Amino acid sequence: MKALQYRTIGAAPEVVTVPDPEPGPGQVLLKVSAAGVCHSDIAVMSWPAESFPYALPLTLGHEGAGTVAALGDGVSGLKEGDPVAVYGPWGCGLCAKCAEGKENYCLRADELGIRPPGLGAPGAMAEYLIVDDARHLVPLDGLDPVAAVPLTDAGLTPYHAIKRALPKLLPGSTAVVIGTGGLGHVAIQLLRAMTAARVIALDVNEDKLALARSVGAHESVLSDAGAAAKVRELTGGIGAQAVFDFVGAEPTVRTAGALAAVEGEISIVGIGGGALPVGFGALPFEVSVHAPYWGSRGELIEVLDLARTGAVSVHTETYSLDEAPLAYERLHAGKVNGRAVILP
């Protein structure tokens, strides 16, 4: 089968032919319908050889959806042809976090060498994908695989961050979304569907800000050194009760800290390497700062349920597997508005 692989540190990913995989006991083979292109892959492909954590070659793609093609020995509850989305942050399934469905925070995944597809295990940017356990699959149940596949990360990750901030997002509150790309433009829609908060979007790119407004942001602000002051002005000096930073670089975490309200919540979701000093006087009183990772299995089910109500619609642009390297180039250049999706 064809697969998109990251093969050489620092080089672009390549479309190659690899053996067709076969499901072992307990595994499920999917015929991949769609695989999403996440900015995290670009970060992964920038890591140096000394600290690169995965074995190469690595088939990319940690957002996957497909149809069941074959079941390994002992798998029940699914049948060939079932359309499903893949829950990506695989865990051991047995520890206390996994028992809560929080496999993203599995206590034993590292020790057991369990990795998400596309982030260690072979990913979804291939004609077929091996899924290690049927519990990692959520029925699409009427959702279109192309529109739904980004929800497995670009939907689930903001959903998890927003859900924990809900007690702060009362009527009259303000939520700020920094970086309105793949994750951010879904976050705006989730905030509109789940809260009565006023949503202010920040980005450096006018096209992204236009998308932010079209998916429900009440205000859009250019993300520059004056952005925090502008948000304070828009909120009568109070600031934002919740800030979601989908860039996470030095300037954006600084902006997040400067525009948070007293008792506000800051979620640093982007992995841009920025760090926010916490300590008395460093931030407005009683601000909490979190750096969440992905979300739980239960939350993925909730995100897909929400999508079935029509409240969330991901803006997608599609590429064939042969065009997948181009999709990464365009994402790197800031030219993807919404989420790029590969159709293997």
Residue 108: CB minimum distance to Zn ion, A: 5
Calculated CA dihedral for residues 223, 220, 193, 246, nearest 10 degrees: -10
Site string for ligand NAD, 157-176 (x = CB under 6 A): x-------------------
Instruction: Give dist(CA 341, CA 35) in Å, integer.
Output: 6
**Residue among 148 and 331 whose Cβ is closer to ligand NAD:** 331
**156-165 vs 182-194: helix crossing angle, rounded to 10:** 40
Report if residue 182 touches ligand NAD, rule: CB under 6 A.
Answer: yes
The burial of 208, by beta-carbon neighbours within 10 Å (0-12 exposed, 13-18 middle, 19 or more buried), is given as buried
Which residue is nearest to ligand NAD, using beta carbons?
181
Q: Which does 270 bind (CB under 5 to 8 A by kind): ligand NAD, Zn ion, none?
A: ligand NAD
Report if residue 258 touches ligand NAD, rule: CB under 6 A.
Answer: no
Contact by Cβ (8 Å): 16, 122: no
C-beta neighbour count of 317 within 10 angstroms: 14
| Window 102 to 131, contacts with Zn ion (CB under 5 A) | 106, 108
Q: Which does 251 bind (CB under 5 to 8 A by kind): Zn ion, ligand NAD, none?
A: ligand NAD
| Token pair of 185 as six digits | 């433009």
Instruction: Give dist(CA 158, CA 169) in Å, integer.
Output: 14
Q: Which does 75 bind (CB under 5 to 8 A by kind): ligand NAD, Zn ion, none?
A: none
Of the candidate residues 53, 139, 298, 334, the single one contacting ligand NAD (CB under 6 A): 334
Instruction: Give dist(CA 338, CA 336) in Å, integer.
Output: 6
Q: Which does 303 bind (CB under 5 to 8 A by kind): Zn ion, ligand NAD, none?
A: none
Q: Which does 67 bind (CB under 5 to 8 A by kind): ligand NAD, Zn ion, none?
A: none
**Residue among 128 and 319 whose Cβ is closer to ligand NAD:** 319
Cis status, amide bond into 139, omega within 30 of 0: no
Of the candidate residues 28, 30, 175, 247, the single one contacting ligand NAD (CB under 6 A): 247
Could you give the C-alpha distances from 258 to 103, 179, 238, in angstroms and in order? 33, 16, 11
Report if residue 149 touches ligand NAD, rule: CB under 6 A.
Answer: no
Contact positions vs ligand NAD (CB under 6 A): 38-40, 43, 153-154, 157, 178-184, 202-205, 208, 223, 246-249, 251-252, 269-272, 292-294, 331, 334
